[in-house]
Amino acid sequence: MTTDKAGRVAGQTAFVTGAASGIGRAIAERLADEGARVVLADVSVEAGEALAAKLRGESRTAMFERLDVTREDEWQRAIASVVATFGGLDILVNCAGVAAGGQELLQHDFATWRRTLAINLDGVFLGLRHGGAAIVAKGGGSIINISSVASRAAVVRGAAYCASKAGVAQLTKVAALEWAPLGVRVNSVHPGYVETPLVAELMRQAPDSEAMHAAAIARHPLGRLGLPHEIANAVLFFASDEASFATGAELIVDGGYALP
């Protein structure tokens, strides 16, 4: 991987899941600002297409791929399209996720458990399996998986979410070990609560959303929730040559949430 004055990831092709909104959108925009050709992948077609058009209007190179991260056939199609269009893949960011809370274990329904694990963990596995293969074929690159502070700090009524994000953290380390000889770095970013539609939905599911919001802010020693661009900056670091000796690392960007 190389960079030049045009940007820290100039000339590289990046594939970002969950790119239509929230943290994924911020990541896609940040990588594009730093010179990457960005492929926006999401199930939200209208929002994804609109963002791709916006980036192209700003003289960035961007395209949209409709992708359900839980479906292997869609991963195969999307990655094949990227390789055919840009000649390969250098950066993969597995960001697509869902927040599922509000269910204590004694009442937790299996359907919610499976859906959460399918999107948050199976989706990362499939991204590694197919996006990772494209990066290996290109000769190396960087993969960043978005985990969560919930992989380290348990959240009441968050069994499925915590389990899925802990799985992402360990899956990242396995991939880092296996692919280090192949020139592929694999790292994870662990956000705290960030002002996104995902977190807003998690709050909405709570019995008292206003109380949960206030409690979430109080849990962060910095006294606020995070912002999407703050997570995007961490992803950019791992994607760039500035992190050339980092693999299997966890970068916690949580406003101090996990400290107490």
Residues annotated as part of the active site = 161
Helix axes 197-205, 22-33, angle to 10 degrees: 170
Task: Calculate ∠ Cα 99-110-117, nearest 5°.
Answer: 45
Instruction: Give me the sheet containing 141-146, strands edge to edge.
Output: 62-66, 37-42, 13-17, 91-94, 141-146, 184-191, 250-253
Three-state DSSP state, 92 = strand
For residues 168 and 120, is the Cβ–Cβ distance under 8 A?
yes
Can you read off the two tokens belonging to residue 195?
């002002």
